[in-house]
Chains A and B, each alone.
Chain A
Amino acid sequence: MSDNRQPEPISTKALTLRLLALAVGMFGFGFLLVPIYDVFCEITGFGGKTNAEAVTNISTTADESREISLEFVTTVNQYAPWEFHSELDGMTVHPGGLYEAYFIATNLTDKHKIAQAVPSVAPQQAAAYFKKLDCFCFSNQEFMPGEEKMMPVRFVVDSDLPEYIDTITLSYTFFDTARLTDNSVEMAHPGHSKQ
């Protein structure tokens, strides 16, 4: 249009394309939030996340002067056909010392099942100091029909654990991985099983 409107600092097409690019960029940013969140959680222990792979090169000299009360919590995710508990309710540990605890799970079905345990530590400020050298949660666990398994976790509570923390709760939630490995409609809608 040949008139004396405001001199366009940028053509309509260029501005439209830039705004479109901004929208596409923000769509990408939404996905970028996923790795950002993971890194954030790893650094801060936010969400009670503990290490997902075995820790190596850690000194295991127990600090006998300090005692931490460690409590275990076990949960089975909805409708999952498992019996799952810890061998002990809890234990007393010294920071820096190497310990081992056992968790016991039973497949209550007559089918071959694969499970995944997901750990979490409370208070979350302690998560970064709870270091697992070996854990049944590092990989999927296979179960034969009716099989009972005793599964170990070996860990060190770092001696740098802040002074004000004297109790740590270690929680495991047991998931049936059928939903992840088998995309059958039945499992995709667990809510339907109730109807």
Chain B
Amino acid sequence: MSGAITDAHADHIEHDDHGPTKGWRRWLYATNHKDIGTMYLLLSLVMFFVGGSMALIIRSELFTPGLQFVDPAFFNQMTTMHALIMVFGAVMPAFVGLANWMIPLMIGAPDMALPRMNNWSFWILPVAFGILASTLFMPGGAPASGWTMYPPLVLQTGDAFPFLIFSVHLMGLSSIMGAINVIVTIINMRAPDMSLLKMPMFVWTWLITAYLLIAVMPVLAGAVTMLLTDQFFGTSFFLAAGGGDPVMFQHIFWFFGHPEVYIMILPAFGVVSEIIPTFSRKPLFGHDSMVYAASSIAFLSFIVWAHHMFTVGMPLTGQMFFMFATMLIAVPTGVKVFNWMATMWRGSMTFETPMLFSLGFLFLFTIGGFSGLMLAIAPADIQYHDSYFVVAHFHYVLVPGSIFALMAAVYYWMPKWTGHFYNESLGKLHFWLSTIFVNVTFFPMHFLGLAGMPRRIPDYSTQFTDFNSIASVGAIGFGLSQLLFVYVVYQCARKKGEVASQAVWDNPRGLEWTVPSPAPYHTFATPPKISSDAAFS
């Protein structure tokens, strides 16, 4: 009996030692969390450039007033596709990729809990985006109603309409499967002695994000299904003539939509909470309060949705409720910002590229947060609604917010992935170019919005010309700067840089730094031992 166990154990060790399958099978049949994480990150990088090219078409058209390059219908298709691709194709898959790569390494698990489902949740995505991209070539063109898909406008989409719905279904399916995987991994596969409150912040924020995904992606699926049946099966969920109400779609959509924006920012909070302590050489200030703050933000995200639709007509009490609930979110968010600052306080700080991006995040995300507070004021929002001020606000929280955190994460963990450092000078150059151009692009949009320029228009009054031209120059500069990022990542992946040690950085905290660099194909086949005083980030 005992002999059999020993043999089984020996087999097990042997099994752990073999490397990845060769050729395309490694990727198509991938179940290894690191391979799947890499594929997610690459997909999102490609989508970032596809969506970014669409943004550049938009900004080129808006460089001067009048119609230059595209007709208004195509312009609307670009704004819609840009948003759908950036939200569902670039930001969300990038964070799922990081979760795949890092969560097992951070909690001492050998892989994700459900590796085959993991394979499915990735491979659904290229199909979904293939379907979505194919709508560009259909009669009637791609969806042009805005990513919010408000009826009755969205029902005027041409042949692309059912393809839009099905691609949203597939993206939702992928996200839900990914989220289930993350939760099961975190709940069931932590190393011994890693209690929930000892988990690193990135793992914590992802746990909360995963619950948000499971709670709201199905609601979006329901909403778009109702659109589908309204169009093809004679229902009247949103058709006033049949007793429905188009405003109800906005309520259901934003019941999904507001938690969705936190799905895109909470993992970014987690990333920054890992990086700032490392380069401040101090533990994260107020780890537990960070956990409670993230949980409060997640809870509040469910009760603020109507601040996206103050102008539909709402009783005064409704406006007051949604206004104050929205402002309340500034409290836990403020706790996080203050904790990050307190972490740096009297720290022995250095400014490598990941730290620079984290500091850029901290500063610029907070600007986006403040313009969000301005938008939350119901009486003022009537003026700002659907103006460029809104565009400025959500791009500040998404580009120097989520995207900067993603860049920081890639620079921070890439030496662990490849075993080599990236080119530090080029990384810093990438940071400074991105930071300057992101502000040149989006800061003038605040002024445009306050001056009354509406969003989603291909042409505008001449008094808006100067700020639009500046924004367009910034956008092109930002877009080109990202090519530098690709070059830096490519060089690092080709192992051109300095060799990274196991710890990579100066005494960083967390289990991912206890495995060799590059991280072997299989890690933590036996769970690591955690000393009782180990404080994670």
Chain B at the A interface: SS class: helix
* CB-defined contacts of B184 to chain A, threshold 8 Å: 12, 15-16, 19
Report B508-537 residues with CB < 8 Å from chain A CB: 526-527
Taking the nearest CB of chain B, how far is it from the CB of A128, in angstroms?
11
Question: Within the complex, which residue of B114, B223, B236, B315 is in contact with A30, where a contact is CB–CB below 8 Å?
Answer: B223
The 14 listed contacts between A and B (C-beta, < 8 Å) are: A3-B527, A5-B189, A15-B187, A15-B188, A16-B180, A23-B176, A30-B252, A33-B252, A37-B245, A47-B245, A77-B240, A177-B242, A188-B231, A189-B140
B452 CB contacts on chain A under 8 angstroms: none
Most buried by B among A20, A24, A30: A30
Which residues of B, 214-249, contact A by the 8 Å Cβ criterion? 214-223, 226, 231-232, 234, 236-237, 239-243, 245, 247-248
Known: A5-B191, A124-B315. A23 touches B248 (CB 8 A): no
The interface on chain B, measured as residues whose beta carbon lies within 8 A of the other chain's beta carbons, has a size of 52
Q: B181's closest neighbor in chain A, by CB?
A: A16
B101 within 8 A of A: no
Given contacts A5-B190, A30-B221, A33-B251, contact A19 B183 (CB under 8 A): yes
Is A3 a contact partner of B526 (Cβ separation < 8 A)? yes
Cβ of A189 and Cβ of B158 under 8 Å apart?
yes
Chain A contacts with B in 151-183, Cβ cutoff 8 A: 173, 175-177, 179-180, 183
A30-B221, A30-B222 known; A22+B214 contact, CB < 8 A: yes
Whether A19 contacts B180 in the complex (CB less than 8 A), given A37-B245, A118-B240, A188-B232, comes out as yes
Known contacts A3-B526, A15-B183, A34-B237: A29-B140 contact under CB 8 Å: no
Write out the residue numbers on chain B whose beta carbons fall within 8 Å of the beta carbon of A60.
Answer: none
Cβ contact within 8 Å between A179 and B241: yes
Interface 1/0s, chain B 293-336, versus A by CB < 8 A? Answer: 00000000000000000000111001000000000000000000
Q: Complex Cα distance A190/B157, Å? A: 9
Residue of B nearest to A190 (CB): B156
- The binding surface of chain A is classed by DSSP as helix
Say how far B166's CB is from chain A's closest CB, in angstroms.
15
Please state if A77 and B241 are interface contacts (CB–CB under 8 Å).
yes
Q: Does A64 contact B (CB under 8 A)?
A: no
- Binary interface profile of A, 131-143, with partner B (CB < 8 Å = 1, else 0)? 0000000000000
Write out the residue numbers on chain B whose beta carbons fall within 8 Å of the beta carbon of A56: none
Q: Which of A4, A10, A26 contacts B219 (CB 8 A)?
A: A26
A73–chain B nearest beta-carbon distance, Å? 14
How far apart are the CA atoms of A29 and B214 in the complex, in Å?
Answer: 12
Q: Is A52 an interface residue (CB 8 A)?
A: yes
Closest B residue to A181 by CB, please name it. B234
Contact indicator B140/A23 (Cβ below 8 Å): no
Q: B50: CB under 8 A from chain A?
A: no
Q: List the A side residues contacting B214 at CB < 8 Å.
A: 19, 22-23, 26
* Contacting residues, chain B, for A8 (C-beta < 8 A): 187-188
Which one of A4, A49, A176 lies within 8 Å of B192 (CB-CB)? A4
| Docked CA distance A48–B247 (Å) | 12
* Bound-complex Cα distance A97 to B242 (A): 31
Contact between B140 and A191, CB atoms less than 8 A apart: yes
Contact with B along A1-39 (1 / 0, CB 8 A): 101111011111001100110111111111101100100
| A46 contacts partner chain B, Cβ-Cβ < 8 Å | yes
Are B219 and A30 in contact, CB atoms less than 8 angstroms apart? yes
Q: Which 10 A-B pairs have the closest CB atoms?
A: A30-B222, A175-B241, A191-B156, A27-B218, A26-B218, A30-B219, A19-B180, A118-B240, A116-B241, A6-B190
What 1/0 mask marks residues of chain B from 166 to 199 whose CB sits below 8 Å from any chain A CB? 0000000000100110011001111110100000
B315 near A46 (CB under 8 angstroms)? yes
Report B's interface with A, CB cutoff 8 A: 110, 113-114, 140, 156-158, 176, 179-180, 183-184, 187-192, 194, 214-223, 226, 231-232, 234, 236-237, 239-243, 245, 247-248, 251-252, 255, 313-315, 318, 526-527
Chain B proximity of A36: nearest CB distance (Å): 10
Task: Name the B residues within 8 Å of A20 (CB-CB).
Answer: 180
Chain A residue at minimum C-beta to C-beta distance from B224: A30
Report the minimum CB–CB distance from A81 to chain B (whole Å). 14
Q: Which residues of B contact A34 (CB under 8 A)?
A: 226, 237, 248
What residues of A have a CB within 8 angstroms of the CB of B140 in the complex?
189, 191-192
Chain B residues with Cβ below 8 Å from A118 are 240-241
A15 and B176 alpha carbons, distance in the complex (Å): 14
A192 contacts across to B, CB distance below 8 A: 140, 158
What distance in Å separates the Cβ of B56 from its nearest Cβ neighbour in chain A?
27
Q: A44 an interface residue at 8 Å Cβ cutoff?
A: yes
Does A125 have its Cβ within 8 Å of any Cβ on chain B? Answer: yes
Quick one: closest A residue to B252, CB to CB? A33
Which residues of A, 109-131, contact B by the 8 Å Cβ criterion?
Answer: 116, 118, 122, 124-125
Chain A residues lying within 8 Å of B190, measured Cβ to Cβ, are 5-6
Chain B contacts for A29, CB-based, 8 A: 218-219, 222
- B183 to chain A: closest residue by CB: A19
The distance from the CB of A191 to the nearest CB of chain B, in whole angstroms, is 4
Chain B residue nearest to A41 (CB atoms) is B245
Closest chain A CB from B231 CB (angstroms): 6
CB B175 to nearest CB in A, in angstroms, measures: 10
Closest to B245 in A: A47
- Docked Cα-Cα span, A146 to B188, in Å, equals 71
Q: A16-B113, A26-B215, A34-B237 are in contact. List 15 more A-B contacts (CB 8 A).
A: A1-B110, A9-B187, A10-B188, A12-B184, A19-B180, A22-B214, A22-B215, A26-B217, A26-B219, A27-B219, A29-B222, A30-B222, A37-B248, A44-B315, A77-B240
CB distance from A41 to the nearest CB of B (A): 8
**In whole angstroms, what is the CA distance A25 to B187 when docked?**
21
